[in-house]
Amino acid sequence: MRYVARSQAMLAKALLTTALAAGSIIAFSASSHAEVPASCVKGVDLATLGPTSIIGQGPHGEQAASPDVLKLTDEEAAKVKAGHFKVGISMQTVNLDWSQLQVAGITDTLNKYGVTVTGVASAEYQVDKQIADIENTIQQHPDGIISIPVDFTATAPTYKKVSQAGIKLVFMDSIPTGLQHPQEYAAMISADSQGNGQIAAQILASCIPQGGTIGLVNFGVDYFSTNERTKGVRAWMGKNRPDIKMKQVDFTDPSKVSQIAGDFLTGNPDVQGVYAVWDQPALDTLSSMRAQNIDIPVTTVDLGLQSAIEIAKGGPLKATGSQRPYDQGVAEAMAMMNALIGKETPAWVGVQSLPVVQSNVLESYKTVFKKDPPKELMDACNSAKPACN
């Protein structure tokens, strides 16, 4: 017993000493950042920022259709209500604002027309889980499935089974390899990813001096929407700012971006601005920049609460080309109902990009999230008045 008591006392002593030593000695000083160029962002007129129409093409080179073509007449709406349809949803994850807003847009719209949502499956980015999710959903005999494929090729045979079972399919963001419109799927709805990339490029370019260099933090996995974004950046730069040199680093594991972007900036000290392919990699890039005391402008695609706060504060994150995930969800539900009552549906429906900068971040938040900005965002914006609005 004495042995135990002694060991516990020593353990407690060691714990206390280490904690006290570490806590009390550390004299912390917040890092200081250099100022960004004054012409940055301000040189761009918000009214002319971003494309005026959908600039990208669908996965099979289709032209984009507007969500307006999916509207239902009163007669068609009555037909949908009378059908007592059931629709299942299969997501790549439900842990993103993007996914939750998509699901909310779909569910709200379907419920409005009396269509039941049988369930929302989350594949957690795993192909085998998504295959199982879809097979389980088929067993529930829904009339339609709305889904975002985790992978182009591995899920394709399973999606073919869906259409063979007579179930209507609407995709978000991309289409599995080999599926044909309109026999095997009714429609694909996505943001104008190239347009979003163009917004990110346009703002970033305003912060880069003549002949400067930018870094692209890109997703190294072949995925339609992320490919399109980076393509949008490269295309805009090539046409409008051919003087800017572009370097690229790819990541395949999103949890490693902080390390990869940090090392990329160390290995490429000439990089004067960064484009990150979506908002979380942008935030991870910001965290490694803070650690290394690097202050260069960053732009990205997609809007979340944290990225909105960073834009509101007026820090290195200058702008994002946002999707409108709720509106995309509404369009997916509308496309599904069109298909369920036997109407023809376009192969690709593109939803317009939304440029977000410090001066319109509050309004943009409301547009994207369909609710008032939370306190954290209001506080960040208030502390940066009048630049933030």
Partner 1 sequence: MTDPQANPTMSQPAMITAPQGEKWHRIARTLLRGERPYMLYIAFAILLVVFSLASPFFLSLNNFLNIGRQTTLVSIMAVGMTFIIIARQIDLSVASTLALSGMSAALAMAHIGNHWLVGAVAGIGTGAIVGLINGIVTTRLAIPSFLVTLGSLSAARGLALLVTDTKPVIITDDTYFAVFGEGSLLGIPAPIAWTIAAMIFGILLLHYNIFGRRIYAAGGNPTAALYSGINIKRATTLAFVLTGSLAGLAALVLSARSHAARPDVVQGMELDVIASVILGGCSLFGGRGFILGTLLGSLIIGTLNNGLVLLNVSSPLQLVIKGAIIVAAVAFTRR
Residues near partner 1, by CB under 8 A: 3-4, 6-7, 10-11, 14-15, 18, 21-23, 25-31, 94-97, 100, 220, 249-252, 255-256, 258-260, 262-264, 266-267, 269, 283-284, 287, 290-292, 304-306, 309, 376, 379
Identify any residues that bridge with 214 across adjacent strands, giving them in sequence order. 246
Closest distance between partner 1 and the C-beta of residue 34, in Å? 15
Q: Tell me how far apart the 2 most distant CA atoms of the chain are, in Å.
A: 86
Minimum distance from residue 18 beta carbon to partner 1 (Å): 4
- Minimum gap (Å) between residue 263 Cβ and partner 1: 4
Smallest separation (angstroms) from partner 1 to the CB of 249: 7
Phi-psi region of 65 (alpha: psi -120 to 50; beta: other; left: phi over 0): beta
Of the two residues 112 and 129, which places its CB atom closer to partner 1 in the complex? 129
Q: Which CB, 159 or 369, lies closer to partner 1?
A: 369
Q: What is the distance between the alpha carbons of residues 328 and 211, in angstroms, rounded to a whole number?
A: 38
Sequence letter at residue 78: A
| Shortest distance in whole angstroms from residue 344 CB to partner 1 | 37
Q: Which residues of 156-185 are buried (b: 16+ CB within 10 A; e: fewer)?
A: bebbbebbeeebbbbbbbbbbeebebeebb
- Between 142 and 262, CB nearer to partner 1: 262
Straight-line distance from the first to the last Cα atom of the chain, in angstroms, rounded to the nearest whole number: 66
By CB atoms closer than 10 A (0-12, 13-18, 19+), residue 62 is middle
Smaller CB separation from partner 1, 143 or 284: 284
Shortest distance (Å) from residue 4 CB to partner 1: 6
Rounded Cα–Cα distance for residues 192 and 198 (Å): 10
Nearer to partner 1, 29 or 139 (CB): 29
Helices 257-267 and 279-291, packing angle to 10 deg: 60
190 strand-pairing partners? 350
Name every residue whose Cβ is closer than 8 Å to that of residue 30 and which is 6 or more positions away in sequence.
Answer: none
Q: Is 5 helix (H, G, I), strand (E, B) or coil?
A: helix
Least distance CB 124 / partner 1 (angstroms): 9
Burial of 116 (0-12, 13-18, 19+ CB in 10 A): middle
What backbone torsions phi and psi does residue 129 show, to the nearest 5 degrees? -70, -40
In the complex with partner 1, the residue whose CB is nearer, 363 or 376, is 376
Phi then psi for residue 166, to 5 deg, are 80, 15
Q: Which is nearer to partner 1, 260 or 368 (CB)?
A: 260
| Burial of 21 from C-beta contacts in 10 A (0-12 / 13-18 / 19+) | exposed
Distance of CA 292 to CAs 114, 285, 300, Å?
54, 11, 20
Two tokens at 345? Answer: 């549906």
Work out how close the CB of 261 gets to partner 1 at its nearest, in angstroms, rounded to a whole number: 9
Position of tokens 């289409």? Answer: 175
Nearer to partner 1, 25 or 34 (CB): 25
Q: How far is the CB of 283 from partner 1 (least distance, A)?
A: 6
CB nearer to partner 1: pick between 317 and 331: 317
The least CB distance from residue 80 to partner 1, in Å, is 30
Q: CA quadruple 169, 174, 64, 191: dihedral positive or negative?
A: positive
- Residue 170 or 283 with smaller CB distance to partner 1: 283
